[in-house]
A = this chain, B = another copy of it.
Amino acid sequence: MRLGTLLLAWSLAAFAGVQAGDGSYPAPSNVRGAEYPKIHPDLRVTFRLKAPGAQKIQVVPQNGGLGKSPYQMTRGEDGVWTVTTPPVRPGFHYYHLLIDGVPVNDPGSETFFGWAKQTSGLEVPSQELDFYEAKPAPHGEVRIRYYHARTTGTLRRAYVYTPPDYDANPKARYPVLYLQHGSGESERAWTAQGRANFILDNLIAAGKARPMILVMENGYATQSNAPPSSAGRGAEGFPELVIRDLIPAIDSAYRTLADREHRAIAGLSMGAGQALAIGLANLDKFACIGGFSGGLREFNPKTAFGGVFAEPAGFNQRVKLLWLGSGVEDRFYAPGKAAHQALVKAGIRNVWFESPGEHEWQAWRRHLADFAPRLFR
């Protein structure tokens, strides 16, 4: 049963899906036909690379449940390097290989845009959780939408999830959730790393979430009149871009319910800060706001976000949902929970959600699965 679901999801990578005699199988994040990285039934992971000319190779986990320290690969006589980890945590984990000191991708892995480049990622299936797997439920589309933004003076690209019934109901209109990635990631992250489309497919099929549109844009946006910024920076134009360009482009291209009651914004880490800042500064545009693991350091409810929390009664009437959450091992857990408590004390209604895990995608998948069902009710 679980295996059926897993194989269905695995097949997206279009690999042969051969299970070895010891029950190990290629990671679902591998490219087609790549046997390694290989996951064992006890969730140990074996990495393997042919590199006869290399002097030293390490597997470097970048965050999350793959481990805290680099794994030293061992050279075989045939120039093939291997290492097997202890059991790792389920979820999506960024990693790279360090070959003679140079950080590079694992050719066996698909690439995922994170850490401001295309890097390797490992999807480790869970024995307990499948809410983010591709199931036989009807699937929505993920649409790559190009639009011109005046704020940046450029053509930009949004990834837009439309729910399974969108094209079949040409008169229906839908609420919209704007959903932002974290630092160093891109508009591709919430579907490729986060599987937001499958999470919504499953919630909608189960009647747990209202059919909605997800809009995932790139949080990096430099105003056209701003000085050139260096690598990795350049998010300063994003708030203006959302209000001036993105929302009008989406409301023009899709059958949206184009009012504040049917528009939400959320994000993770850097995107949490952006979602809170943009949402709370534009309550005429958004009635629901979510912060996943971020945006709440040194939080003072009297002064935070332009003093928007100063009048609790008005705020509580206006804002249908203020959702805050974090993995319990996340470095943003303590400041997030403190902010939640300060808001409660200040009389501001808000939801606090704790998930297992640290600053990692498996937590943000859980956040979305808790957040989305609360929207637009």
Q: Is the CB of A116 within 8 A of B146?
A: no
Q: Is the CB of A100 within 8 A of B100?
A: yes
When each residue 90-113 of chain A gets 1 if its CB lies under 8 Å from chain B and 0 otherwise, what string results? 000000010111111101111101
**Tier of interface size on chain A:** 35 or more
Which A114-139 residues have a C-beta within 8 angstroms of B? 116-118, 134, 136, 139
Docked pose: A144 CA to B12 CA in angstroms: 12
What residue in chain B is nearest A35 (Cβ atoms)? B231
Residues of B within 8 Å of A101, CB to CB, are 51-54
A73 to chain B, nearest CB (A): 12
Determine which of B17, B104, B220 lies in contact with A99 in the assembled complex, contact meaning CB atoms within 8 Å. Answer: B104
Question: Secondary structure of the A side of the interface?
Answer: loop
What residue in chain B is nearest A171 (Cβ atoms)? B170
Docked pose: A147 CA to B31 CA in angstroms: 20
When each residue 154-174 of chain A gets 1 if its CB lies under 8 Å from chain B and 0 otherwise, what string results? 111100000000010010000
Query: With contacts A31-B118, A113-B31, A167-B253 known, is A14 near B146, CB below 8 A?
Result: no
What residue in chain B is nearest A218 (Cβ atoms)? B14
Q: Is the CB of B155 within 8 A of A11?
A: yes
Residues of B within 8 Å of A84, CB to CB, are none
What residue in chain B is nearest A232 (Cβ atoms)? B33
A8 in the interface (beta carbon within 8 A): yes
Determine which of B14, B31, B141, B230 lies in contact with A33 in the assembled complex, contact meaning CB atoms within 8 Å. Answer: B230
Residues of B within 8 Å of A191, CB to CB, are 144
What residue in chain B is nearest A145 (Cβ atoms)? B141
Query: With contacts A32-B231, A104-B107, A170-B170 known, is A143 near B144, CB below 8 A?
Result: yes
A324 to chain B, nearest CB (A): 29
Q: Is the CB of B156 within 8 A of A11?
A: yes
- 16 new A-B pairs (CB below 8 Å) besides A12-B146, A49-B102? A11-B152, A12-B156, A12-B157, A16-B234, A31-B113, A31-B117, A32-B116, A33-B231, A33-B234, A34-B231, A51-B102, A53-B102, A102-B104, A104-B105, A141-B145, A167-B253
